[in-house]
Amino acid sequence: MPSRSKVIAVALLAAALASSAFAAESSGPKITDFTLSNGLELVVIPDHRAPVVTHMIWYKVGAADEMPGKSGLAHFLEHLMFKGTANNPAGKFSQVVSRIGGQENAFTSNDYTGYFQRVPSDQLKTVMEFEADRMTGLQLTDAVVLPERDVILEERNQRMENNPRARLSEQIEAALFLNHPYGKPVIGWRHEMEGLTRDDAIGFYRRFYGPNNAVVVIAGDIEPEQAKKLAEETYGKLQPHATIAPRQRPQEPPPAAVRSLTLADARVEMPSLQRDYLVPSFRTAKPGESAALEVLSNILGSGSNSRLYRALVVDKAVAVSAGAWYDSSAFDMSKFGVYGAPREGVTLPQVEAAIDAVIAEVIAKGITAEELDRVKTRLIADAVYAQDNQATMARWYGSALTTGASVKDVQRWPERIRAVTPQEVQDAARIWLDKRRSVTGYLIKDTSPQAERRS
């Protein structure tokens, strides 16, 4: 389905948004959280401005839960979930959503797999019935599985192999994670995707899909009690999965070596560099540490007032872009990134040295009260504005609840941001922005005679 062709990117974007804008001000909507007797968690976010609802189901399984040699399987199954059940032949669910004027999409990350529909609120029960049906009733034959494998291979072509920056990120992640499956690409390694089978997909589905491994988030024109009633009438009929185990992935050894890599690609128009550090996620951080990393990433690298932008783009004029980001929403450890692209005539090592100097200054001298206040105010304001979007809200809760956080954790995000001190930000920089925890990737133009052929 064309509408699912950007699934992975959407999911990563959602996670990034969630990380910088995890929020629910006390002035926001009242969130209700239920758990059905079969273990399914239901979160309801009322929003009565229009007669529509966003319905999302998030499974607590993603690419990091794949067996070795089966990379891409979580995402492949996401595609195959549209291939029909005994009650609903392939394509019927999508046709119905389309006929009622709705939208749908699906996405896969390392930690979760999600499906969503945006439909008129009086059609909510219909999509819940379809989702409940395919949660346990999926039927797959080679006749539908094998062509879909070609679809995901083509998706890999478009999204990764024809995208130098995506290739760089893939290489950096593979070098950053020495042991944890986060080092594998979510879309999969091509040579492994080529070998994925119906049995692989059904085995993964039976192992991980079930009401007690899912979170349903409904945002929109619905009352909590009514949503709960509909959930009980649909999802509530399913038996809990008997053997869902807590997620336990291989963890990283202590990082020891400063790593770097260079990827040359004929399609690169402008060289750039990206550095990822291995840092804690919200779930794995000590109290306060994840909020300090969020603040730090914003002070260092969000917007034209940030330290990296001011130093590299404005003051030294060595770069045309520079910034930083942090993703707090991972079940296991997470990443903190910095990046920059040199101005004409400037080398990547010069840009890297300028980034290093900015980081060294924060580590040595800390940050000012003024910039801390400014960033806190902006982060919280952005989160308040973002609540205007029903789907954004649903994504915050979905990604939080599938990466080890609770509804309360999401609601307390503004408190945590407000509590960050200058010392905590400086400590976070000193402890976590240690180059031994990082991989620096250079993306350059491949000008070799063979480059044309390779690209």
For the annotated catalytic residues, the residue numbers are 78
- Is 391 a binder of a second copy (CB under 8 A)? no
Q: Is 101 helix (H, G, I), strand (E, B) or coil?
A: coil
Check binding of 395 to a second copy (CB under 8 A). Answer: no
Q: What's the closest the beta carbon of residue 106 comes to a second copy, in angstroms?
A: 25
Bridge-based pairing state of the strands 334-342 and 272-279: antiparallel
Is 246 one of the binding residues for a second copy (CB under 8 A)?
no
Residue 118 to residue 104: CA distance in whole angstroms: 6
Interface residue with a second copy among 37, 246, 256, 304 (CB under 8 A) is: 256
CB of 259 to a second copy, least distance (A): 4
Residue 174 binds a second copy (CB under 8 A): yes
| Cβ at position 264, least distance to a second copy in Å | 8
Tell me which of 27, 37, 49, 68 binds a second copy, using CB under 8 A: 68
Residues 6+ apart with CB under 8 A from 395: 14, 17, 18, 56
Q: Tell me which of 105, 171, 281, 399 binds a second copy, using CB under 8 A.
A: 171
What is the smallest separation between the CB atom of 262 and a second copy, expressed in angstroms?
Answer: 5
Closest distance of CB 246 from a second copy, Å: 13
Distance CA 307, CA 224 (A): 44
Taking the complex as a whole, the smallest distance from the CB of residue 166 to a second copy amounts, in Å, to 12
Q: Which of 2, 253, 345, 449 binds a second copy (CB under 8 A)?
A: 253
Stretch touching a second copy by CB under 8 A, among 109-117, 164-172, 347-355, 406-414:
164-172
Q: Pairing relation of β-strands 41-46 and 214-220? A: parallel
Secondary structure of residue 220 in the 3-state scheme: strand
Window contacting a second copy (CB under 8 A); options: 3-11, 97-105, 175-183, 223-231: 175-183
Nearest residue (CB) to a second copy, 143 versus 353:
353
CB of 67 to a second copy, least distance (A): 8
DSSP character string of 128-192: HHHHHHHHH-B---HHHHHHHHHHHHHHHIIIIIT-HHHHHHHHHHHHH-SSSGGGS-TT--HHH
Binding mask 25-64 for a second copy (x = CB under 8 A): ----------------------------------------
Residue 409 contacts a second copy per CB under 8 A: no
Could you say whether residue 451 binds a second copy (CB under 8 A)? no
Residue 335 lies near a second copy (rule: CB under 8 A): no
Q: Does 365 bind a second copy (CB under 8 A)?
A: no
Contact 151, 4 (CB under 8 A): no
Specify the DSSP class assigned to residue 315. I
Provide the residue count of the chain: 455
Cβ 414 vs Cβ 381: under 8 Å: no
CA 347, chain centre distance (Å): 32
- Which has the closest alpha carbon to 320: 296, 297, 301, 344? 344
Interface with a second copy in residues 410-449 (CB under 8 A): 441
Task: Find out whether 57 and 214 touch, Cβ atoms under 8 Å.
Answer: yes
Task: Give whichever of 280 and 398 is closer to a second copy, judged by the CB atom.
Answer: 280
The residue within the footprint of a second copy, chosen from 136, 197, 262, 389 (CB under 8 A), is 262
- Indicate which single residue of 39, 46, 120, 183 sits in contact with a second copy (rule: CB under 8 A): 183
Report d(CA 235, CA 222) in Å as an integer.
Answer: 17
Structure tokens, 440: 């620096």
Judged by CB under 8 A, which stretch of 84-92, 210-218, 259-267, 349-357 contacts a second copy?
259-267
Helix (H) or strand (E) holding 438: strand 438-445
Q: Binders of a second copy: how many residues, by CB under 8 A?
A: 32
User: Do 268 and 443 contact (CB within 8 A), yes or no?
Assistant: yes
What are 147's two structure tokens? 């062509």
Q: What are the C-alpha distances in Å from 5 to residues 47, 111, 317?
A: 28, 19, 38
| Residues forming the site for a second copy (CB under 8 A) | 68-69, 71, 167-168, 171, 174-175, 178-179, 181, 183-184, 189-192, 248-251, 253, 256-264, 441
